[in-house]
Structure 1
């Protein structure tokens, strides 16, 4: 029972990421995209470091482990930069490519890199969730704006999907050898200077002074939500699922992100939800159920496997 509950934590991560849609209305668009990503990870890494200091004793990681954390830091930095810049260059419907492609890329990479088993049930469930999410996105954004954004933005969004898939898959060894909390912490810590350097380049190229970014309740609240909620809590919850089930199963929860965003938009922004949203949401939920129940037995009986060098 305990393992099954932990395996569901990535659903909570997707809910937090879905909340970013509402948070964006608070005004964090005033912050340049890469700079926002750097602030987000800096706040997230600080929060996670505090949690690790309280929860775990000091460890002496091997060089191999630090190389692993560094690889994850590179992947997550690539993901955030390409996602934030790509979203800035594309339309909302094109931006949804991240939501659609990330779970598929994670499933495929898990099979190719980790040798995870691809069953008919899992494949069918993933396809159902993909179709349902497509219907939700079409009902929310429409398809008339497809092709209106920059082609370079779409390329960046595809790279962002691959980057998060790689972050998920290559983090599996460290997650199961140590913990989800430590892996999320040290990968975000090492990503912070990488993103800070990218933000410095962005500010120089756009001739934007850091002091010119408005400090308002909206921007501060947005950065705190992104840093504490959508990074520290969400990245930990995402990797916690990887402790208990394979990466392909965890990936399917990513499809819940636009549904949560739409529901929160209806609650807080008084947006309307049409029949297409309801139909797509039901199909997506069925797909998620099919994939997760395919691994229910292993998730419910197996504790996370840890190895020792």
Structure 2
């Protein structure tokens, strides 16, 4: 079960790397809130025929846990991706990735405060090794690049996005809801989408509209299927099996996968620092997930 969960946790960072890459690539054609709005509508249309009956059958269970449902929907569906899309409008990939390194630390601390999970030495060491690998990737093997970074409003939004996802990851364990994974996801999509609606209407009032093109439609489809339904389900399975602190370390794979996708899709060069950084990230995850004697 643990090995299966570890393998499944490799997929969300891969899907979210593509999510961030495509959001940056279509920033002028897909307004940030509109992308969040339409991706969740499409995700709901795709999943509801398979989960609608079970969702109705468990309506009383979900209502009994309405506070948890609201919190989970707010921090995941409504806040995280919307803040991410807003962040990449005004910040660079390097800045966003560096700010994202706070996610595993936030998860570890929240799990300690809310769940009483101990911070094991190997867990802390694994986090440090993983972050060093992450820095090797985003600085392209040149630590001096860190001194030239400038903060933007997008960096603050990315920090809020990381805090939101950390809270969601810990709440999954803190407030378990006894329904199937995809059924819970359907409920979160419905509630979270309703939360997004006012912000989407406000964005429309400012004159921002979606440019309907094959590229934008493809991005919405990708974010709905891969970055929404599949990624969320696999992440939830991983958190349930391994705990939020361990799952949080896998977020450090996002910049590595972004670099790999850049090589595959944009023709960028795969350099030595990608290999070194990737090895360190995986080594840190392996150290943190090593079974205790």
TM-score normalised by length of structure 1: 0.85
Displacement of 1:230 in angstroms is 0.2
Q: Which range is displaced more, 244-253 or 5-14?
A: 5-14
- How many residue pairs get aligned? The number is 289
Would you say the 8 A contact 2:98–2:135 is kept in 1?
A: no
Would you say the 8 A contact 1:99–1:258 is kept in 2?
A: no
2:255 aligns with 258
Would you say the 8 A contact 1:106–1:169 is kept in 2?
A: yes
Would you say the 8 A contact 1:93–1:143 is kept in 2?
A: no
1:125 aligns to what SS in structure 2? Answer: helix
Displacement of 1:254 in angstroms is 1.0
Runs of 4+ in 1 over 6 A off after TM superposition: 54-57
1:304 aligns with none
**What is the alpha-carbon distance in structure 1 between the residues aligned to residue 180 and residue 249 of structure 2?**
21
Displacement of 1:24 in angstroms is 4.3
Displacement of 1:29 in angstroms is 4.0
- For the aligned residues, what is the CA RMSD? 2.5
Alignment of 1:90-239 (within 5 A): 90-139=91-140, 142-143=145-146, 146-147=149-150, 149-150=151-152, 152-173=153-174, 175=176, 177-204=178-205, 206-208=206-208, 210=209, 213-239=210-236
**What is the alpha-carbon distance in structure 2 between the residues aligned to residue 145 and residue 183 of structure 1?**
44
Would you say the 8 A contact 1:252–1:288 is kept in 2?
A: yes
Would you say the 8 A contact 1:35–1:196 is kept in 2?
A: no
2:65 aligns with 65
**What is the alpha-carbon distance in structure 2 between the residues aligned to residue 255 and residue 78 of structure 1?**
20
1:305 aligns with none
TM-score normalised by length of structure 2: 0.89
Encode CA deviations 1:10-47: one digit per residue, 9 max, x unaligned.
22111111222553476364111111111122222333
Alignment of 1:77-96 (within 5 A): 77-96=78-97
Would you say the 8 A contact 1:26–1:222 is kept in 2?
A: no
Q: Which range is displaced more, 249-258 or 268-277?
A: 268-277
Would you say the 8 A contact 2:136–2:273 is kept in 1?
A: yes
Query: Are 2:11 and 1:12 aligned?
Result: yes
| Structure 2 gaps, min length 5 | none
Would you say the 8 A contact 1:93–1:138 is kept in 2?
A: yes
Q: 1:33 to 1:256 in 2, by over 3 A?
A: same
Would you say the 8 A contact 2:100–2:158 is kept in 1?
A: no
Displacement of 1:79 in angstroms is 2.0
| Structure 1 gaps, min length 5 | 298-309
**What is the alpha-carbon distance in structure 2 between the residues aligned to residue 140 and residue 18 of structure 1?**
20
